[in-house]
Every structure is written in C-alpha cells, then in structure tokens.
Structure 1
C-alpha cells in the first residue's frame, strides 16, 4: 500500500469545529494579529478569532491565500472582521507597517505568531540560506512582532493581552534532518518565557506545542522525509509521524486554532510563560 491510502487532504473547516467563548474583550474593538494566516493553522486561527467577534489582522506573504482566508470566514458568517495585510516577515519595515495597521484598527491585545516553514536535510548538507530563512521567519520575526506589539498592548485601558507563539514537540526534543526547525522552536520557547517575564502579569506570553497537524506544510514534507530517509511515504506517516504518538491521528488546524482562542481568553489568565502541549503523548511516552 502507498501513502495514497491515507486521506491527507486538509479537512474542511466548519463552524462546529471552532471554540467560541464568552469573553468581555472578545469584540470588534479588540484586534488580534495572526501571522501565517494564508493557510493551515494560521488560516484556522484567524477564522477562529473572527468567529469570536475579534478584529483580525491576517499577515502573510501569500496574498491569494489571504483572500481565501477572508472568503472562508465570510462563508462561515464569522461576526468579526479579517483585514488582510500582505507582509514579508523578513522585511522589518513591512512588519512594522503591519503592526501599525493592527494598532490603527482598534485595541491591539493579541498576537498569534504562527508562520512557519520546513526544510528536510542532515546538518552537514543543510543549506545555510535555508537555515537563515527558517530562523528569520520562525524566531526573528516573532521577536520583532512582539517588540512592536507590546507597547500597544500596554497602552490599552487595562494593559491586558497575550502573545501566543506556535511552538512544537520539536521545541522539546529533536529528531533527525530538521535542525533549523528544531533550533527555531527551542528559541521560540525562550522568547515566550521572556515575554512573560517582562509582561508584569497582564501581558502574557504562552506557546502552543502539537505533534503532526494535517496542513499543506505537513503534507509537503512527507515526500521530502521519505526521500531523505530512503523509506516509503506510508512508512513516514505510520512510523515517523505517528509511530511514537499514543493518539493515532493527526490534529486538525481548527483544533490547534482553538488552543489560541482559549489561551487569549479570560480562561487562560494563568497561562503565562507556559506551553500548551497537545501532542497525543508523542513527547511524554515511549516504548
């Protein structure tokens, strides 16, 4: 059998998939930034926050993907508004303009640093240009967005807000051929704790760590991993991706997005500097 026996298509997002909470700050006057909002977890997070009535600034370099995100939110009748702000996260001026646009749209309180990418190669063969790009997008850009957003969050009437960072089980341990990704995620956990240390209790930092999620990024790396390790795509899915997990299914983007919704809400007020680990036992059990 081949990997084609698996359904690797991203599940269709529905209203029933989204966590909607009653929160006094979840309204149109509150703004949330979501990076990587053109697809996958970022798209689901932008839509989930809009479903909770927030104004969302959706940032991504993929303009067509951002249009699709906005269209999907409209299809689901999300009460919040999504503003697409095309942004190259490797361009400091573009990032600054995106954060300024968010601050102008209302009370900037929340940031979801979701944008990410992957490259599969052993360390001796890893192209430094790819290493630099991964670190720029997944570590430097979240730092810059936090740096620019924190003064705006502090300037709200009560200074309450949160910056959530998309980490990973690879922020806790390492596997082969993903050195840049692993380095970035470990660093992102440090950034999360640094935000918490400087947030004075009202401006929180937290991270979200999951295993394998059914996103375009994940589907694309199956073939790369199979080639790098010399195994079949089916073996990548069964043995590499889900072999160590106790929950034998991949998460959906909506399930991850709901963790950001909870983390930003009043129910997450004690989540500060911590990591929301939902990995099906991947990093906490072994045989």
Structure 2
C-alpha cells in the first residue's frame, strides 16, 4: 500500500504511556483486561501495569499474552501482569477468571476490549459469525460485569469502574459491518446501565474511537476492498479516513491512555459517558 499507509503502530515505549497519581493505583488493586494479546487490549494492560496496578490479561493467544508481559517489562511497569487463556464464550471460564482476579487483590477495574470483525452485507452475513460476535462482544462483557460487581463493591470504599470498548460504529453506521455496529451500540447501552446501578461509586464509561492501528483494522483493509470493489489505498484514504478531519489513525497506546484516565480519580465524574475521540469523524460533515 506504500509508505504513506503504514498501518502498523510503532513500538510501545514508556514515554507514550500516561501515568497518573492515584491512591488506588497500587498492586493491591486488580484490573481485568480482555483482548490483551494485541492491539488496544495489549496497550491497555501494559499502561495499567505501568500505573502500578495488578493486571490479569486475558486472551486465547498465549504467545501474544507472553509478548504483552515482555513489553510491560521493557517499559518498566511496576505492577505485575498475570495472564489467563480464557475463551470468552465459555461462561464457566469467564466466572473463573473473575474469581482468579479477586484472589490477586481487590478487584476494582474491568476493561472489556476483546472484539472481532467480519465484513459482509446483511443478506450475506453468516449466522454462526453473528452468534460468535454477539457472544464475545456483548454477552461476555455483561457476564464479566455481573460477576465483577460484587467484588468491586467489597472494597473498603466500594470504588471501581467498568469500561467498554465501543467505537464510532456505536454512533453511526457504515456498510458491510452490521453485527459490529450492533455490538458497539449494545456496549454503550451496557455502559449506561452499569452507571444507573453503580450509585456513583462503581462507575462505567465507554471509549469510542475511529480507526486505530491494530491487527483488527489491518485485516479489514483487503476484505473491505474486495466487498466494495475498490483498491486497498482507496479503503484507507476514502473509507477509513475520508470523513475524519485528523488524517492520521490513532495508535493503541492513545486509546489505552483514555482507559487509564477514565479509571483514575481524574475521571470521577465520567459515569455512563462515552469518550469519543474520533478525529472529528462523527461531529463534522461536508
């Protein structure tokens, strides 16, 4: 695709990670991060560990999780990262994940980041893929929330937060991503439902970005080109960045920093809200 369309993010380095002072950001506080073997999930697990939290990083890619731990060591993370190979479509495994997290310290934070994509119009969309995407991206976050809430409320101050990775596709729709769009709208609804029941102590927020330099995005490019009958260059230039005012994709660490801020004491009044950092994509038009 040429040098102007480099989709791989640069190496994650310590100077790009937001670090904050927060009395709860210690290794006694535990954060669950799903999808932690790559992309946004990996960057978030590393960023939270860099902020001193104990992180339980989960994914089905064991090699990817090992690389996440390696990167955390390289950036000087002071909080430990424990890894867990968990199939998010397995209720028993999800429930066991939460119990394991609670045994590591005081469970306070959950980052529901794991996701997948499939490019097809509605009439061609395979229902087995529909079920998988709904289970991983809606049902699993709900179950993780259900299981985690009692543990978060057990803290001496009852304070914690649950965050969900939404998207601009949780605000607007584009062609050939019907189920992804449905799941992201659903996650914003879950976010608000958690806030309604969290009594201001267990907060919830979502993060909505445009295209981020992740493997999920990279894999979309040839599929979108095929489905729309255009070149890969046109996918990036016209489809992905065409409506954005900022003509540069975010990097995973940029998104991880939003999770860190939202979990921290500086996000105290972020409850039920959505952090929409999309380069102007959904706020402007021509």
Report the CA distance between 1:10 and its aligned residue.
2.2
User: What is the TM-score normalised by the length of structure 2?
Assistant: 0.99
Partner of 1:213: 212
Partner of 2:186: 187
Report the CA distance between 1:3 and its aligned residue.
5.1
Cα deviation digits, residues 198-240 of structure 1 (max 9, x gap): 0011000100000000001100110100000000000000000
Partner of 2:70: 71
Alignment root-mean-square deviation, CA = 0.8
Partner of 1:152: 151
> Secondary structure in 2 aligned to 1:43?
helix
Distance 2:252 2:93 in 1: 26
Distance 1:138 1:77 in 2: 31
Partner of 2:241: 242
Partner of 1:111: 110
Distance 2:2 2:137 in 1: 29
> Secondary structure in 1 aligned to 2:183?
helix
Partner of 2:127: 128
Kept after mapping to 2: 8 A contact 1:169/1:210: yes
> Secondary structure in 1 aligned to 2:66?
helix
User: What is the TM-score normalised by the length of structure 1?
Assistant: 0.99
Kept after mapping to 2: 8 A contact 1:245/1:279: yes
Distance 1:266 1:94 in 2: 31
Report the CA distance between 1:9 and its aligned residue.
1.7
Kept after mapping to 2: 8 A contact 1:3/1:233: no
Unaligned runs of 5+ in 2: none
Report the CA distance between 1:76 and its aligned residue.
1.3
> Secondary structure in 2 aligned to 1:218?
helix
Where does structure 1 differ by over 4 angstroms across 4 or more consecutive aligned residues?
none
Correspondence list, 1:14-163, <5 A: 14-163=13-162
Distance 2:178 2:12 in 1: 32
Kept after mapping to 2: 8 A contact 1:162/1:204: yes
Distance 1:92 1:259 in 2: 29
Report the CA distance between 1:189 and its aligned residue.
0.5
Distance 2:82 2:259 in 1: 19
Distance 2:135 2:9 in 1: 27
Kept after mapping to 2: 8 A contact 1:192/1:273: yes
The number of equivalent residue pairs is 286
Partner of 2:199: 200
Partner of 1:224: 223
Distance 1:91 1:210 in 2: 28
